[in-house]
Amino acid sequence: MMLQRFVSTLPRPAPVLITPPAAVPVSLADARRHLRVDSTDEDTYIDGLINGAVAYLDGWNGILAKCLINQTWSQKFTTLSDPLRLALRPVSSITSVGYGTDSPQEALDSLTYRLSTDSISAKVVSVAGYGAAAADVPQNIRHAILLIVGAMYENREDTKIPDAVYMLLRPYKDVIA
């Protein structure tokens, strides 16, 4: 059975990461429990697997095209229009909106824009993510990360993403091709 792939249909140019997340959605202790590993001998390796699984899902290059833990991104637009569709979700706040061709850009007064959850160069700086802590990330996404870590741990040479991962991520995807 061919696995379904997530495809991003987000606007270009790509947003730029300003502040990375301060944590990962799955702790080393969570992963060790999931893997049934009692010793600390492979902690560095398991940490690498967690980071790889998170990178597979998170941010602009991740298959979900969503931010899991809060992080700050900058996104440029060629025109200032209503609405400006931000590439990464969920957006929890807008830090600033700038416009113009000069550097630094003119800042829009925060009273002139708002974050809605549903023809000048513009730049928006926003905080995106489910929250600041691992517990804020939906359980299905955290479990999918553990399944990816488990698959990579057990099959170190030829890893196939388990079908259950896609089932768990389905409610959080943008498009399936």
Q: How confident is the model at residue 118, as a pLDDT? A: 54
Q: How confident is the model at residue 12, as a pLDDT? A: 52
Nearest to 26 by CA among 71, 60, 57: 57
50-68, pLDDT tens digit by residue? 999 999 999 999 999 889 9
Q: Distance (Å, rounded) from C-alpha 11 to C-alpha 21?
A: 22
Residues of the chain with CATH 1.10.3230.30: 20-67+132-172
155-175, pLDDT tens digit by residue? 888 778 899 999 999 988 764
Q: How confident is the model at residue 38, as a pLDDT? A: 95
Domain topology for 20-67+132-172: Hypothetical protein yqbg (1.10.3230)
Which residue's structure tokens are 């399936």?
176
Confidence category of residue 105, pLDDT binned at 50, 70, 90: confident
Question: Whole-number mean pLDDT of the chain?
Answer: 82
Q: Distance (Å, rounded) from C-alpha 129 to C-alpha 59?
A: 9
